[in-house]
Structure 1
Amino acid sequence: MVPVLLIVIPLVSGLLGFLIKQEKNAKVWSLLTSIITMVVSILGIAVLHKPEYLQADVAWLPDLGSRFSLTMDGMSKMLCLLTGLAYPGIFIATWNSTYKNGYQFYALMLLMQTGLMGVFVASDALLFYFFWELALIPAYFLCSIWGGERRVAVTFKFFIYTFVGSLLMLVAIIWVYFHTPDHSFAMSSFYKVNLPGSTQGWLFWLFFLAFAIKIPLFPFHTWQPDTYEQSPTAVTMVLSGIMVKMGVFGILRWLAPVVPVGLWGYGDPAASMCVIGMIYGSIVAMQQDDLKRFVAYSSIAHMGLMGLAIFVTSSIGIQGVMIQMFAHGINIIGLWIVVELIERQFHTRKMSELGGLAQKAPSLAIMLVVVSLANVALPLTNAFIGEFMMFNGVFGSKASNYHYIFMVVGGLSIILSAVYTLNMLQKVLFGNTSPLTANALDLKINEKFVLAVLLIGIVVMGVYPKPMIEATRHAVDAIYSKMFVKLP
């Protein structure tokens, strides 16, 4: 029931949104329906625990062996909750933004939420692929229609990357399907496939490339900074806060359990890409003057750590990844909200043109400081426990031959993240005011509300992470056990 509602509510409200021509009414409609979706996602993780509430299975394409099968384990619950919480916050934070044919913008945003929810709850490989594409199509139109001056070229690049990745994943899915015992796309059937090690090797790379592009991991990241920069900030929030988690989710749900021998055989090369991306993203972030590109490159570094924790294959590392997916989503959306507020007021994203905001807008300064420090995993913030568990998993890995090297080199990214974050705070908030910030205004009520809720969540999760750990424990055990089933 719950997974069906999480798909149907944004789908129906998105389709009906195309009929609401006035932008103000479209905003209200989108906010109200997203709040309903949020309530359902909260019920799914906090109240409705019985299997009949968290599963659905009906005939879809019986001749192909595919069913409309949905299920919610701990990982799905966390990501659905993140998606459910993010959308109302994004709509409220960007309430004052206007768009040409705004009703179409909000309708497409809701349809993108439909695809995201479907990806996180699908337990049929073909259905998973269907929702994967459904999430990307609205994103393509949102970026290409309402983006910046270079939106067409940037969106084309984004489309090519994601299309190639999707095609590779489809080839892998079809190959595994033909080797299932019952010619079924069911997740349980995929997990039962017993493929030779050599076959698992090349299937690993097909799945890996598809998911690495989406995360994105180095060197498949080049679409990301341009897309984040050119997209409307509301869309960027969804792309960086939620959609990149599709890649991490895909690795944990479909790559690791289906081709575990391939994962063990090529985990170190994949982990090496992640480590390179962590250092590369951090160094490039240090050089940025544009706030959007700064956040984009810092996100590459953080997502690289998640990939590293998976590919070194450790239980505590995977647990950290699940927690960090949620924490990173909250923190990065918080950063994007502040960037949106700064750009809207000063019509610039250049750090060199800002300065002294703490004197004129103390509430904005407090929000930016807290979210930024959470993003670098300061103790007692939400990202600390997940990052600690991931590095713990890398250090104690028994699957990787180079985990100590990965630990040392990856650990440098912690230092670098502190450097570029503190440098950004210095340029934007402190020092003398610039001509642009001399008459700066502080946050409005709706902006304070959204950021205050985010800050409360950051602190509460950082101080008391036990509910998140307990919610994902069974999913971690299930995935980790399948990664060892077919070892040679």
Structure 2
Amino acid sequence: MLTVLLILIPFIAGLIAFGLKGSGPKVLGMIASLASVATAIGTVCTLQADPKKLSFVTNWIPQLGSQFRVGLDGMGTMLCLLTAIAFLLVFITIYNRDIERPNSFYGLMLLSQAGLVGVFTAFDALQFYVFWELALIPVYFLCSMWGGEKRIPVTFKFFVYTFLGSLLMLVGIIYLYFQTPDHSFSWTSFTSLQLSMGDQKWLFWLFFVAFAIKMPVFPFHTWQPDTYEQSPTPVTMILSGVMVKMGLFGVLRWLVPVLPEGASMWTDVAIVLSIIGIIYASCIAMVQSDLKRLIAYSSIAHIGLMSAAIFAHNEQGTQGVLLQMFNHGINIIGLWIIVEVIQNRLGIKNMDQLGGMARKAPRMAIFLVIISLANIGLPLTNGFIGEFLMFSGLFQYNHWFMAFAGLGIILAAVYTLNMIQKVIFGEGNTLTDTTTDLQPGETVALSLVVIIIFVLGVYPQPMLDLVSKAF
């Protein structure tokens, strides 16, 4: 029942939020996010004690052989915990912000959370597809209603990319459905299929393209930097911290188990595309002056490494990906919180117009340095162990792939340290001299991020134990 509650809490709260006025929506959002975190922690404890209690099955569309089938293993539990923490951090950060039409904003945010949790808990392919769309539709409206000046064309591009990817995946799901002996959409029926190599060869691309767009992996990434730049920063936090994990999750839950021979056949192609994305995105990040675009391209590089490690098809690489999905989500949200603070205070995100902020906002400067170093995998931070495992997995598969992917670490250090230098060090100016340090809510959110960074950096075993229960 806890698994169902993870979906119902934000879904019901989101519907209620649409009818509230004044401060009601943000208070409800905070309550719902706290309840979601508590429930997610409950699922972690239950997974250790009795995993069967996290499964729930009931009839949904029996005429089509589809059931409402939810459950959690280590991967799903970890991603639901990440989702709950991410929305809590977002709501804490923006609690004192004046948001236009707050009832619609918080309602759509909570519905998006329900969709995300639905994706991570689904063990029925049709149900997975429905929640996949449910998670995306609110984000489309959030971006188009609260985004930047170019939000309409950018949001349209985002919609076209994701819609085409979803359509390809739906075609693949329907084809697999008709191959099952019992005409069922269940994950068990799909993974039990004995498909020919010819079928797996083309089915692989229907699912891979859909998931690659969502991650995104080169060359399906072009929607991402523009969307991140034009989206309201709270929505960008969810897009980069949680929603991109839908693609990685889809590969691990559905693509590789259902089409193992197809995934094995196209492994080198998938890894090469991922590595091209790492180097390409890192090089573009090095020349960016816009903070949001820099972080957007850095996210493409990080996700590219995770994608490459998945297709190494070994335990170390997969364990590293599972661990890094959580750590990357926490770290990237921390960076977006600081971008939100800077943009809210000064109304700019151009690094060339910043500088010297360490004197006026020392707490923010300290948080920025810690989170940035964690994001590039400094030892004793949470980003280190996941990257180490992923590179070990790639090395086991092909040491040349590991060597080229490793260039991303060097490039990441260059653009990250350059960003730190331009934003908080150097001489101030008339604009940055007017800034103020973090407010209490922002301090709390960033403190939670830093605590997670050091706890999992020094002692990652609890998270490793959790993700070891995947599948």
Normalised to the residue count of structure 1, the TM-score between the two structures is 0.95
In the other structure, the counterpart of 2:225 is: 225
Instruction: Give the Å deviation of 1:98.
Output: 2.3
- Extract structure 1 runs of 4+ deviating beyond 6 A: none
Partner Cα separation in structure 1 for residue 14 and residue 394 of structure 2: 42
Report the AA paired with residue 410 of structure 1: A
Task: Provide the secondary structure at the position in 2 that maps to 1:60.
Answer: strand
Match of 2:433 among 428, 434, 438: 438
Residues 291-311 of structure 1 show CA distances to partners (whole Å, capped at 9, x for unaligned) of: 000100000000000000011
Tell me, yes or no, if structure 1 residue 463 matches structure 2 residue 448. no
- Number of the residue aligned with 1:187: 187
Tell me the alpha carbon deviations over residues 387-431 of structure 1, each in whole angstroms, 9 at most, x when there is no partner. 00000000012xxxxx22211111011000000000000000101
Deviation at 1:290, TM superposition (A): 0.6
Q: Provide the rounded CA distance (Å) in 2 between the counterparts of 1:25 and 1:99.
A: 13
Conservation of the 8 A alpha-carbon contact between 2:215 and 2:248: yes
Q: Distance in 2 between matches of 1:446 and 1:102?
A: 18
Q: Is the counterpart of residue 407 in structure 1 residue 406 in structure 2?
A: no
Residues 137-156 of structure 1 aligned to structure 2 (within 5 Å): 137-156=137-156
Residue 32 of structure 1: aligned partner: 31
Distance in structure 2 (CA, Å) of the matches to 1:184 and 1:51: 24
Alpha-carbon distance between aligned partners in 1 of 2:384 and 2:211, rounded to the nearest angstrom: 25
Give the structure 1 partner of residue 411 of structure 2: 416
1:332 aligns with 2:327: no
The corresponding residue for 2:135 is 135
Residues 60-79 of structure 1, C-alpha deviation per residue, up to 9 Å, x if partnerless? 01111110000000000000
How do 1:61-72 and structure 2 match up within 5 A? Answer: 61-72=61-72
Matches within 5 A, 1:114-133: 114-133=114-133
Residue of structure 2 equivalent to 1:74: 74
Q: 2: distance between equivalents of 1:74 and 1:130? A: 23
Matching of residues 50-449 of structure 1 within 5 Å: 50-397=50-397, 403-449=398-444
Is the 8 Å Cα contact of residues 324 and 383 (structure 2) preserved in structure 1? yes
- Unaligned segments of structure 2, at least 5 residues: none
Partner AA of 1:238 in structure 2: I
Q: Identity of aligned pairs, percent?
A: 56
CA distance in 2, matches of 1:245, 1:466: 22
Output the amino acid matched with 2:197: G
Shift of 1:339: 0.2
State the one-letter code of the partner of 2:430. P
8 A contact 2:58–2:67 mirrored in 1 = yes
What is the SS of the residue equivalent to 2:469?
helix
SS where residue 67 of structure 2 aligns?
strand
Q: Distance in 1 between matches of 2:225 and 2:179?
A: 39
Find the aligned partners of 1:133 and 1:357 in 2 and give their Cα distance: 41
* Number of positions where the alignment pairs a residue of Structure 1 with one of Structure 2: 470
Cα distance in 1, alignment partners of residues 434 and 260 from structure 2: 58
In 1, Cα distance between the equivalents of 2:244 and 2:462? 24
1:468-487 paired onto structure 2 within 5 Å: 468-475=463-470, 478=471
The residue matched to 2:338 in structure 1 has which SS? helix
For residue 206 of structure 1, report the CA deviation from its aligned partner.
Answer: 0.6
For 1:213, give the aligned amino acid. I
* Counterpart AA for 1:461: L
Question: What is the one-letter code of the residue matched to 1:386?
Answer: G
Counterpart Cα distance in 2 of 1:240 and 1:307: 15
Deviating more after overlay: 439-448 vs 217-226: 439-448
Give the match's secondary structure for 2:195: coil
Q: Equivalent residue for 1:486?
A: none
Contact kept in structure 1, 2:385 and 2:457, CA below 8 Å: yes
* Paired letter, 1:433: G
Deviations 1:260-318 (A, max 9, x none): 10011101011100000000110000011010001000000000000000112111100
Where 2:429 maps in the other structure, the secondary structure is coil
Look up the SS of the partner of 2:431 in the other structure. Answer: coil
Residues 65-120 of structure 1: per-residue CA shift (max 9 Å, x gap): 11000000000000000001111110111123222211100000000000000000
The letter of the residue matching 1:43 is G
Superposed CA deviations along residues 157-176 of structure 1, whole A, max 9, x for unmatched, are 00000000000000111111
Work out whether residues 46 and 53 of structure 2, in 8 Å CA contact, stay in contact via their aligned partners in 1.
Answer: no
2: CA distance, partners of 1:215 / 1:310: 13
Q: What SS class does the counterpart of residue 69 from structure 1 fall into?
A: strand
Deviation of the 1:25 alpha carbon: 1.6
- SS of the aligned residue for 2:234 comes to helix
**Matched letter for residue 463 of structure 1:** V
Deviations 1:208-261 (Å, cap 9, x if unpaired)? 000000000011101000100111111000000000000000000000000010
**Secondary structure of 1:40's aligned partner:** helix
CA distance in 2, matches of 1:169, 1:123: 16
What SS does structure 1 have at the residue aligned with 2:266? helix
2:247 & 2:104 partners in 1: Cα distance?
27
Cα distance in 2 between the residues matched to 1:474 and 1:44: 13
| Aligned-partner residue type, residue 37 of structure 1 | S
Conserved in 1, the CA contact under 8 Å of 2:360 and 2:435? Answer: yes
RMSD: 0.9
- Aligned to 1:92, what secondary structure does the other structure show? helix
Which residue number in structure 2 is paired with residue 8 of structure 1?
Answer: 8
| Unaligned stretches of 5+ residues in structure 1 | 398-402, 479-488
Deviation at 1:133, TM superposition (A): 0.4
Q: Is the 8 A contact 2:46 2:54 kept in 1?
A: no
2:444 aligned partner, one-letter code: F
Distance 1:474 1:417 in 2: 31
SS in 2 for 1:57: strand
